[in-house]
A = this chain, B = another copy of it.
Amino acid sequence: MTNFSWKVKKTNKNNKARTGKISTPHGDIETPAFIFCATKAALKSFTTHEAKKNNTQIILSNTYHLMLQPGSELVARHGGLHKFTGWNGPMLTDSGGFQIFSLGHGSVADEIKGRKTNSKHKKTLINLNEEGALFKSYIDGSTHMLSPEKSIEVQRNLGADFILVFDECTPYNVDKRYTSDSMLRSHRWSLRSINAFNSKLNYNPKNGSAGRQEIYGIIQGGIYRDLREESIEFNTKKINTFGIAIGGSLGSNKDEMKDIVHFTSSKLDNTRPVHLLGIGDPRDIWDFVADGIDTFDCVSPTRIARHGSALIKGKEGKINLKNVKYKNNLNPIDNECNCYTCKNFTLAYLYHLFSAQELLGLQLLTNHNIYFMNNLMKEVRSSIDNNDFDNAKKKWLNS
């Protein structure tokens, strides 16, 4: 019935870094891998065809955005997200929980990553209770209920290969009591999500998934080690999912984030692929791969491209093409990069495009950043396979 499988190929000696392969009905994912965000069923300024050409293995879309616009039924009528977006490779959808609570509490995203900025988002969460979350559409103000059952129904319609259980993404600015209560409710929601998923009540043979989907559980517990342990226990012993994601608040700064991820992943074994939600800084990826993380997702590589930043190796991590110092520079972003942008265009041309506000600039940087991330993951994998991880990491960070 299912074509899904997961196997670990090689494990590093000094740490938990590992290569593996996730197989899906839409193809294989060599891990560690990066998942690019097609939030609203589009990679913003990039076609799925070009993403494929840039070695992209898997993309994700967002349940919350797509249930509001264009509606998951319309996507199902197309035969699922693969047909809708023209992407024939593996896909994942999140459960909608993150966005509900991000828009509900203000910007959870900032808090999870330890940024203390003020929210620009309107609060749209009306009520949160055992049943689920009642919220207003940011598009037209209409009222919607998102529950575990509804999230799974929507994700069935969307038809991605991998779906997530519905959870509350607890923010950083709540106390341990709230974090614990929220975690326990998310566990109950996980059970309801899995029950809805297994019941195939929402199985829709007309859409692209045709029931061929697998589900990920999510480890909660915020910054509290005992809660993380409790959630790991729940996710690995009480439920049985294909994969497991690390979610919730990861602290108020990078050190805290690394500590929480390190602690959590150290308790996980090779049984399931492990996904780290919402993290995408190339410099952090080396650290988290060492902790045994198999997949990552983040809007960052494509978002910073649209703001003029190109990813580069080394501690600096990126350069901004709006900087006048590139005005007359006839070199590419990176002489050693084989992406279309670096093979064909100079820094001076890219600077010109951003100065002249040409949309092509966003596309060319998106191209570079997508290629860059996929190339980074390829280097990471090959260093593990060649017993050269620590050396490769050091070399990369000091480029």
Binding site for B on A (CB under 8 A): 40-47, 49, 65, 69-70, 74, 77-78, 84-86, 327-328, 330, 340, 344-346, 348-349, 351-353, 355-356, 358-364
Evaluate contact between B360 and A78: CB separation under 8 angstroms.
no
> How far is B220's CA from A219's CA once the two chains are assembled, in angstroms?
74
* Set of chain B residues within 8 Å of A46, measured between Cβ atoms: 360
- Contact partner of A359 (CB less than 8 A), chosen from B45, B330, B351, is B45
Evaluate contact between B355 and A42: CB separation under 8 angstroms.
no
* Set of chain B residues within 8 Å of A69, measured between Cβ atoms: 352, 355-356
- Contact partner of A330 (CB less than 8 A), chosen from B78, B86, B327, B345, is B78
> How far is B352's CA from A46's CA once the two chains are assembled, in angstroms?
16
Q: Take A42-B358, A352-B41, A358-B40 as given contacts and tell me if A86 and B345 are in contact as well, using a CB distance cutoff of 8 Å.
A: yes
> How far is B356's CA from A137's CA once the two chains are assembled, in angstroms?
13
- Contact partner of A86 (CB less than 8 A), chosen from B74, B328, B344, is B344
- Smallest Cβ distance from A365 to chain B, in angstroms? 12
Q: Give this chain's copy count.
A: 2
Known: A40-B352, A363-B363. 16 other contacts (CB 8 A): A40-B356, A42-B359, A42-B361, A43-B360, A44-B360, A45-B359, A45-B360, A47-B360, A69-B352, A70-B327, A70-B348, A74-B348, A77-B330, A78-B348, A86-B344, A86-B345
- Smallest Cβ distance from A146 to chain B, in angstroms? 19
> How far is B347's CA from A74's CA once the two chains are assembled, in angstroms?
12
A-B contact pairs, 22 of them (CB 8 A): A40-B356, A40-B358, A42-B358, A42-B361, A44-B360, A45-B359, A46-B360, A47-B340, A47-B360, A49-B344, A69-B352, A69-B355, A74-B327, A74-B348, A74-B352, A77-B330, A78-B348, A78-B349, A85-B349, A86-B345, A359-B359, A359-B362
Residue on B with the closest CB to A364?
B47
> How far is B327's CA from A362's CA once the two chains are assembled, in angstroms?
27
- Smallest Cβ distance from A361 to chain B, in angstroms? 8
Evaluate contact between A44 and B358: CB separation under 8 angstroms.
yes
Residue on B with the closest CB to A345?
B86
Q: Which 3 A-B pairs have the closest CB atoms?
A: A86-B344, A45-B359, A42-B360
* Set of chain B residues within 8 Å of A327, measured between Cβ atoms: 70, 74
* Set of chain B residues within 8 Å of A330, measured between Cβ atoms: 77-78
- Smallest Cβ distance from A310 to chain B, in angstroms? 16
- Smallest Cβ distance from A10 to chain B, in angstroms? 36
* Set of chain B residues within 8 Å of A352, measured between Cβ atoms: 40-41, 69-70, 74
Residue on B with the closest CB to A70?
B352
* Set of chain B residues within 8 Å of A86, measured between Cβ atoms: 344-345
Residue on B with the closest CB to A327?
B70
* Set of chain B residues within 8 Å of A41, measured between Cβ atoms: 349, 352
* Set of chain B residues within 8 Å of A353, measured between Cβ atoms: 42
> How far is B349's CA from A358's CA once the two chains are assembled, in angstroms?
24
> How far is B345's CA from A77's CA once the two chains are assembled, in angstroms?
13
- Contact partner of A84 (CB less than 8 A), chosen from B70, B349, B358, is B349
- Contact partner of A49 (CB less than 8 A), chosen from B340, B351, B361, is B340
- Smallest Cβ distance from A277 to chain B, in angstroms? 23
